[in-house]
Amino acid sequence: METVRYTQRICSDQQQIEAFLLSSRIGILALTGESFPYAVPVNYIWHKNAIYFHGMGSGKKNVLLAQNPPVCFTIYAEHGTVIDPVPCHADTAYMSVMIFGKAEKLIDFAESAVVMQKMIDKYMPNYYSQPLTGNLMEKYKSSLDGNGVGIYRIQADIVTAKENAVNSQTIF
């Protein structure tokens, strides 16, 4: 289905891809919108060969995901502009991973607690003294909309990765 045409840039080093997915902090969730495509940056974790993200339990993202769960999730890092004596040959040093799959809302509160704890451990390590529980996830309601947290899993059906790794001396 999804292939990388620029084959010279394919990254097939699974350890490098895994490390990139674990260390990057923000990904772009692309979904089918009502009139236009809809892409939104979200915090995420990579866990058990899946992307997990969360947000309010209501809103446009939740509506669109319920209507059309196939998504693309993109994580990228830009490292700088690659210099070249020929202006049209200037390039960008980068790493990117695209994950294609269906977004599924978690309904199991114990699983939700594990995912949210991993989110906290990634973004706010050692900040809270007590781990999250399924009971807390079940009872939590937002003061903004009265809903609980919406937590989604994208099982990675297809993963593509590209990179333009260059010597740091050639980066502007």
pLDDT (tens digit, 9 = 90+) per residue, 126-161? 988 888 888 777 777 655 555 668 899 999 999 999
pLDDT in the model for residue 117:
93
The answer to the question of residue 1 being in a domain is: no
Q: Considering the chain, what percentage of its residues have pLDDT values greater than 70?
A: 91
Q: What CATH code is carried by the domain that includes residue 112?
A: 2.30.110.10
For residue 57, the enclosing domain spans 7-166
pLDDT-derived band at 2 (thresholds 50, 70, 90) equals: low
Buried b (16+ CB within 10 A) or exposed e, 15-43: eebeebbeebeebebbbeeeeeebeeebe
Q: What is the pLDDT of residues 56-92, one digit of tens each?
A: 766 889 889 999 999 999 999 998 888 888 878 888 8
Of the candidates 60, 59, 42, the one whose C-alpha atom is nearest the C-alpha of residue 51 is 42
Please tell me the pTM assigned to this model.
Answer: 0.88
The answer to the question of residue 26 being in a domain is: yes
Do 160 and 68 meet the contact criterion of CB atoms below 8 Å apart? no
User: In this structure, are strands 26-31 and 38-43 parallel, antiparallel, or unpaired?
Assistant: antiparallel
The answer to the question of residue 20 being in a domain is: yes
State how many domains the chain has: 1
The answer to the question of residue 117 being in a domain is: yes
Of the candidates 91, 99, 145, the one whose C-alpha atom is nearest the C-alpha of residue 1 is 99
The answer to the question of residue 172 being in a domain is: no
pLDDT above 90 for 26: yes
The answer to the question of residue 74 being in a domain is: yes
What does the block give as tokens for 7?
């084959």
The answer to the question of residue 37 being in a domain is: yes
- The whole-angstrom distance between residue 161's C-alpha and the CA centroid of its chain comes to 13
Look up residue 68 and give its amino acid.
N
pLDDT above 90 for 23: yes
Do 166 and 120 meet the contact criterion of CB atoms below 8 Å apart? no
pLDDT in the model for residue 94:
92
What does the block give as tokens for 81?
């502009």
The answer to the question of residue 15 being in a domain is: yes
